[in-house]
Amino acid sequence: MSFSKASIRDAEVAGRRVLVRVDFNVPLEDGEVADDMRIRAALPTLELLRERGAALVLASHLGRPKGEPDPALSLRPVAERLSELLGVEVKQAPAVIGGEIDLMVGALGPGDVLLLENTRFEAGETENDEKLAEALGQFADLYVNDAFGAAHRAHASTEGIAHVLPGYAGLLLERELTELGAVVESPRKPLVVVLGGAKISDKIAVIDRFLDIADEILIGGAMCFSFFRAQGIAPGDSLVEEKGIELAAEALERAKQSECELTLPVDLVLGKSFDAATERRESDGVEVPDGWMGLDVGPRTAALYAEAVAGAGTVLWNGPMGAFEMEPFAGGTRTVAEAVAKAPGTTVVGGGDSVAALRKFGLDDDVDWLSTGGGASLELLEGKKLPGVEALLDKEKTDA
Ligand code: ADP
Ligand code: MG
């Protein structure tokens, strides 16, 4: 398997301090964690390290502060939630680095947990500043990256730090790489890829890669209108990304040379505007009249896609089929989500909104792997190397 990095399972951590980069970039509402999926996803690594007698210094970013403290983006609510989930006190550091933090770190004993403040309160984080990486390195004997959702960024706490401390993959990171890697490298066939979402430019590199790997790529979401435009089919007032039309034309051209089938919707659900209360109608065919916009794939398309999913050895789904946040336009996404949930093949879902859709329909427990990283999962599937992974120790080096 592709996973060639040193795992935390093989590291000696008893009595040592471990700096763990986690992805606690969670939504907050009224100063509380509104969704703790990402915190829960980090628990296995944190529990393993605590059981083995390590003291934990945790680092994460949250939102996009501008390189300086922003009280609205403090990790304090996360420390509280994590404390409940772990069942131990989680100390919250008032800053990322500095003399006060040195003292807090120095006081940690085996099993203790300290959460540093939002790493992006330091400008050096996104600049991958060596000095910040070195300062973070002072806190620990080894580094564990479990922040898959941030692994595609070369930041001080995701990449730079691994040049200061020996770096290991956490359990979540390892699982993400193994599950997503298997889709690309050793999928059970046929491999069926369902792609949707807003923008073709976000997903074109994935389409390109899977035209070489997959048996069928099924397109939904607003990005189908870039394909239709490229075919000269009028999109009405649908969301069309102008620069996507050229990309779509190229993909259609490449698909002709490929063994992989590239499938587009055959019917649509239209609305007058992007609004749940708008006038709605189903349209057999994919031409959209002016004054209307395509907001979902139609029932015939959804049924065809569901059938392809049911017959797949492996299913990769990324991107909703329509504007599923609005109930009148959620049907296509729900049908595909139900098909993915029921599919006998291996099912892997990536992308923040697709995962949100599955959870909204209560189907999130019925897929084999739900990726915690949107951008990171796309980059991995495109075949890009993730800087936060590359910088970790290679497996050989730890095999005794
Ligand atoms: P993911 O996060 O799963 O990768 P994207 O971020 O690419 O998905 O796209 C999700 C968004 O695309 C959703 O907010 C959804 O409303 C929107 N969307 C999907 N289909 C359409 C459509 N036909 N018209 C407008 N927006 C759409
Ligand atoms: Mg999204």
| pLDDT, tens digit (0-9, with 9 covering 90-100), for 92-145 | 999 999 999 999 999 999 999 999 999 999 999 999 999 999 999 999 999 999
- Please say if 375 is a catalytic residue: yes
pLDDT of residue 103: 98
Give the nearest ligand 1 atom to 322 CA. Answer: 20
Residue 297 CA to ligand 1 center (angstroms) comes to: 12
In the chain, the DSSP E strands lie at 17-21, 28-29, 32-33, 55-59, 90-92, 113-115, 142-145, 167-169, 191-195, 216-219, 261-263, 267-271, 280-284, 293-297, 314-318, 346-350, 369-370
Asked if 212 and 255 count as a contact pair (C-beta separation under 8 A), the reply is: no
Which amino acid makes up residue 374? G
Same fold: 8-173 with 187-382: yes
CATH superfamily to which 8-173 belongs: Phosphoglycerate kinase, N-terminal domain (3.40.50.1260)
Q: Which residue numbers in the chain have pLDDT < 70? A: 1-2, 397-400
Rounded to the nearest 10°, the torsion over CA 9, 11, 16, 21 is: -60
Our answer on whether the CB atom of 43 is closer than 6 Å to any ligand 1 atom is no
- Domain spans in the chain, listed from the N-terminal domain onward: 8-173, 187-382
Asked if 248 and 229 count as a contact pair (C-beta separation under 8 A), the reply is: yes
pLDDT of residue 1: 46
Residue 101 CA to ligand 1 center (angstroms) comes to: 42
pLDDT of residue 2: 61
pLDDT of residue 63: 97
Alpha-carbon span 96 to 102, nearest angstrom: 10
Asked if 340 and 315 count as a contact pair (C-beta separation under 8 A), the reply is: yes
Active-site residue identified among 111, 236, 311, 352? 352
Our answer on whether the CB atom of 352 is closer than 6 Å to any ligand 1 atom is yes
Our answer on whether the CB atom of 157 is closer than 6 Å to any ligand 1 atom is no
Q: Which two tokens stand for residue 38?
A: 């990402």
Alpha-carbon span 399 to 78, nearest angstrom: 36
- Please say if 38 is a catalytic residue: yes
Q: What is the DSSP letter of 326?
A: S
**Residue found by looking up tokens 């703790």 in the block:** 36
- Please say if 189 is a catalytic residue: no
pLDDT of residue 396: 74
User: How far is CA 194 from each of CA 8, 187, 357, rounded to the nearest angstrom?
Assistant: 33, 15, 14
How many beta carbons lie within 10 A of that of residue 30, not counting itself? 6
Burial class, 34, CB count within 10 angstroms (exposed 0-12 / middle 13-18 / buried 19+):
exposed
- Please say if 243 is a catalytic residue: no
User: For domain 187-382, which architecture applies?
Assistant: 3-Layer(aba) Sandwich (3.40)
- Side-chain half-sphere CA neighbours of 304 within 13 A: 17
pLDDT of residue 397: 56
Active-site residue identified among 17, 38, 120, 229? 38
Alpha-carbon span 299 to 305, nearest angstrom: 10
Residue 278 CA to ligand 2 center (angstroms) comes to: 23
Our answer on whether the CB atom of 353 is closer than 6 Å to any ligand 1 atom is yes
